[in-house]
Amino acid sequence: MKTVSSKATERCLSPETLEMIHQRGIARAASNRELMSELAKQCRQAMKEDVKERRAAVMVEAAEAGKSILKDH
């Protein structure tokens, strides 16, 4: 699996999702397993939504530019 740098990931995630990830880290540091587990579930769902929105935006941008979304190799 290809890894993505944290800067690239931050561009794809909304500020709300990044804040949720931060809160999950605080819960983990406080050893609050129940809260951490719930926040982890919410983070996964929010990340999926963010990626979906980002993908849709890229598709629209490519369509408007009349280009393929696949990179030429």
pLDDT in tens, 24-65: 999 999 999 999 999 999 999 999 999 999 989 888 888 888
First to last CA, the chain: 19
Whether residue 70 lies inside any domain: the answer is no
Asked whether the beta carbons of 17 and 48 are under 8 A apart, the reply is no
Whether residue 51 lies inside any domain: the answer is yes
Model pLDDT, residue 73: 46
Whether residue 4 lies inside any domain: the answer is no
How far is the CA of 37 from the CAs of 24, 34, 40, 50, 71, in angstroms?
Answer: 8, 5, 5, 20, 38
Whether residue 18 lies inside any domain: the answer is yes
Model pLDDT, residue 3: 52
Q: Total structural domains in the chain?
A: 1
Task: Quote the domain boundaries for residue 36.
Answer: 11-63
Whether residue 3 lies inside any domain: the answer is no
Q: Is the pTM of this model over 0.75?
A: no
Whether residue 45 lies inside any domain: the answer is yes
